[in-house]
Structure 1
Amino acid sequence: MAMESTPNIVGVDLFCGAGGLTHGLVRGGINVKAGVDLDPSCRYPFEENNEAVFLERDVNDLSPEALAPYLEQGDFSLLAGCAPCQPFSSYSQSGRSKKRGMDWQLVSNFGRLVQGLQPDLVTMENVSQLAGHKVFEDFLGYLKGYTVRWSVVECIKVGIPQSRRRLVLLASKLGAQGLELEYDPAVPARTVRDEIENLPPIAAGEQHSQDPLHIACSLSEMNLKRIKASKPGGTWRDWDPELVAPCHRKESGSTYPSVYGRMEWDVPAPTITTQCFGYGNGRFGHPVQDRAISLREAAMLQTFPQSYKFAPDDETIRFNRLGRLIGNAVPVRLGEVIGKTLVNHVRMTQGEIAVPSPAHHGRLF
């Protein structure tokens, strides 16, 4: 039997951030040529870990002509991205200086670029809430002439060790065959233990000598007492009364049961957010070590490889900046599944491979 060839699909990643989606697409067989983001902090991790050009541009002001040369370098073209939705994201916050207010311009401009470039393939990853807004219906209107598949994906089903739900859209001018994410339902969900148990232990406030990103925030004396009193999977309600914060003693505080929590080894992590490095910001305590998870652990729970570099080794680690890059990223594994799906879709539509047996695949769409 002849070996299957990998179709030459070239792509551009809009709103590329630190490169999570790009890195995953590349692993899945897509040749990403460029990433676009207006945050200059994204340049180093994007270019250091991916063989692609970083374009520091605002997608709202970007013309199709500026991206066309990158999409003309292959046999098939892909426009990809996670368009931050203003009411749900930090795109207009620190590091992204052009504040646009509570609107949906970024999604609409993604659609405008699709309409102007007419790539063979389109993928958009986004917050699950987007599906309930008119802007998503409007975005679908930009995809006339495409076969479109979309759904809300439970990330644990595709090998991401997080309780995270994301909208994934795939669109193609090549047809419908194979245009659906596939997963093996027999594979167990990955857990916190699977991802980070083998990292060397560090204390709160400590940075590992061999990995600058394996660094944990310092804890106050009170928070050190609190985390020592915390059980994996428990809450602040497990503590002795003198450890409970005054705001939680009030009736209104009962609505925040998931702050000051520890992760559990043998279940997926909670959704990794931009504040995941802070013990008091959610269930971000390490399962057994008396500290919040490190930035490296957060990145690995986002399925970045342990070797992924977010800052030069000699640069001072800034938790807020790197936490934002990590928390805002598309999980690499999700990008890889999308990439593999699109590669197989092109193979199928070009008659290179047969449709896979449904006995070996589960469908998310």
Structure 2
Amino acid sequence: MKNIYRVLDLFSGAGGLSYGLEKTGYFKSLIALDFNEPAIETFKKNHEDTKCIVGDITDKKVKDKIIKLSKKDKINMIVGGPPCQGFSNKGKNLGLKDERNFLFLEYVDLVKEIEPEIFIIENVKNMVSSANGYFINEIVKLFTEIGYLVNYKIINSYEFGVPQTRERTIVIGSRNFKYDFKNLYKYTVKEEKRPKVHDAISDLNYLNSGEGSDVSEYLIKSSSNYQKEMRKNSKKLYNHIATNHSEIAINKLKMIPAEKGKEFLPIELHGKQKFKTTWSRLEWNKPSPTIDTRFDTPSNGKNSHPVLNRAITPREAARLQSFPDKYRFYGKKTEICKQIGNAVPPLLAEKIGLSLIEQIARCKTGHK
């Protein structure tokens, strides 16, 4: 018997969380909401059966529509990553009433209105540590008051087979049981088997600055299990386009040896960015650092190709985020970069989903 959870994905972005959950076969995202039109286009093209809505969650008409649709579709699970910009000691005075956190309160309100069995929140790592735990305690309190058993943990995607050290806070609430993160760790990958940058993108190692196209052919055979998995059911390669860098940027990258960083640049060429990782190349036999929304810019951090004189492409970044090659992104380059950088790695979402189903089954049979 297979119970399919009917999901509402709020702040859905490109759909990484939904895609990963759906891969388990136990979840189906019926409704998705985001205010960003290109992100919703990407979501819709990759989840054709989902009702995709472009809108602002603070708009009463949009909110009422979401509630009405959710009740009609018998939504019993809500997922999403509400932006929370006010997590700082300074913001503690206003707490969750800080206007920068109002989107989080909208999420809480929709959970209260729709009353799903389960909810999942993905957010930044410092959601837990900010203001000495004040905010996470407030969040747990809010959900507890409306009838949920809540647990949370900072999770590193790399431990679960994503070729990237991405740490995020995961909050899971249920009406029937308290989610046990120990169960999730049954789905980790042994250190020696975790894919690295080479496993993820070495077969895409041929474009120079300004080269590539939105749809192209595979030119190099896959050389790792991870690459084979990413290529499944994809006859074409999408979004493999290299940034057209300035001559100055290319000349800087030429000075930096394979897998090295800005320590090889003259001090006067370090630029205004003072972070240690700016103008750094990825390392083949290590995981990527966190993929952010500006991975196409060498001065942004450690996101230049290990050996080629360019930043990584959207497809390479998507691989490092564990999106399969068939998952195509839509919109202008800056929008596509945002979609990929803001996404929940689907592979992590899939493992959270499998762990959830296991605990739900235990709860229903009365086993702890």
TM-score (norm 1): 0.82
Distance (Å, rounded) in 1 between the aligned partners of 2:125 and 2:52:
27
Summarize deviations over 1:296-330 as a string: whole Å, max 9, x none. 1111111111111112xxxxx63212111111111
Tell me the equivalent position of 1:52.
50
Q: Aligned partners of 1:127, 1:143: CA distance in 2, in Å? A: 19
1:73-93 CA-partner distances (Å, limit 9, x unpaired): 46x7111111112358xxxxx
User: Does the alignment pair 1:198 with 2:222?
Assistant: no
CA 67–152 in structure 1, closer or farther in 2 if over 3 Å, else same: same
Cα distance in 2 for partners of 1:166, 1:177 equals: 17
Identity over aligned residues, as a percent?
27
Relative contact order (C-alpha < 8 Å, sep 6+): which is higher? 1
| Count of residues paired in the alignment | 326
* Match of residue 224 from structure 2: none
Q: Does 1:284 align with 2:293?
A: no
Q: Which residue of 2 aligns with 1:93?
A: none
Inter-partner Cα distance in structure 2 for 1:66 and 1:222: 49
Post-superposition offset of 1:64: 6.2
Q: CA RMSD in A?
A: 2.5
What TM-score results when the alignment is normalised by the length of structure 2? 0.81
**Which residue pairs with 2:292 in the alignment?**
273
CA distance in 1, matches of 2:242, 2:98: 33
Question: Is the Cα contact below 8 Å between 2:30 and 2:50 reproduced in 1?
Answer: yes
1:173 and 1:72 mapped to 2: Cα distance?
A: 21
Whole-Å Cα distance in 1 between the matches of residues 71 and 321 of structure 2?
A: 28
Match of 1:39 among 28, 36, 40: 36
Would the alpha carbon gap of residues 141 and 87 (structure 1) be closer, same or farther in structure 2, given more than 3 Å must change? Answer: closer
Q: What's the offset of the Cα at 1:232?
A: 4.2
Counterparts in 2 of 1:43 and 1:34: CA distance versus 1, 3 Å? same
Q: Which residue of 1 aligns with 2:77?
A: 78
More helix by share: 2
The letter of the residue matching 1:272 is I
Change (3 A) 1:177 1:79: closer
- SS class of match (1:157): helix
Contact 1:10/1:33 (<8 A) preserved = yes
Query: How far does the alpha carbon of each residue in 1:195-230 deviate from its partner, in whole angstroms, 9 at most, with x for none?
Result: 111125111111145145100111222221221222
| Structure 2 residue ranges without an equivalent (≥5) | 88-96, 217-236
Match in the other structure for 1:207: 212
Query: Is the contact between residue 181 and residue 341 of structure 1 (CA under 8 Å) also seen in structure 2?
Result: yes
Match of 2:337 in 1: 323
Residues 1:109 and 2:112 are matched in the alignment: no
Aligned to 1:181: 184
The answer to whether the Cα contact below 8 Å between 1:262 and 1:286 also exists between their aligned partners in 2 is yes
* Deviation of 1:190 (Å): 2.0
Q: 1:213 to 1:247 in 2, by over 3 A?
A: closer
For residues 85 and 180 of structure 2, the distance between their equivalents in structure 1, rounded to whole angstroms, comes to 32
Whether contact under 8 Å (2:238, 2:328) holds in the other structure is no
Q: 1:271 to 1:23 in 2, by over 3 A?
A: same
CA–CA distance in 2 between the matches of 1:68 and 1:77?
Answer: 13
CA change 1:101–1:321 in 2 (3 A) is farther
- Deviations along 1:271-299, whole A, 9 cap, x unmatched? 11110011221111111222110011111
Change (3 A) 1:185 1:41: closer
- Return the match for 1:218 from 241, 244, 247: 244
What is the letter of the counterpart of residue 219 of structure 1? H
- What pairs up with 1:104-143 in 2 under 5 angstroms? 104-131=101-128, 132=130, 134-143=134-143
Separation in structure 1 between the aligned mates of residue 28 and residue 357 of structure 2, nearest angstrom: 11
Contact 2:259 2:307 in 1 (8 A): no
Distance (whole Å) between structure 2 residues aligned to residue 82 and residue 223 of structure 1: 34
**Pair 1:80–1:260, CA change in 2 (3 A):** same
Instruction: Tell me what 2:12 maps to.
Output: 16
Given the superposition, is the C-alpha separation of residues 247 and 229 from structure 1 closer, same or farther in structure 2, using an over 3 Å criterion?
closer
Distance 1:184 1:295 in 2: 26
Q: Write the distance in 1 (CA, Å) between the matches of 2:35 and 2:259.
A: 38
Separation (CA, whole Å) in 1 of partners of 2:21 and 2:105? 23
Equivalent-residue separation in structure 2 for 1:168 and 1:7 (angstroms) = 23
Residue in 2 aligned with 1:345? 359
Q: For the structure 1 residues 223 and 177, does the alpha-carbon distance in structure 2 shift closer, same or farther, using more than 3 Å as the test?
A: closer
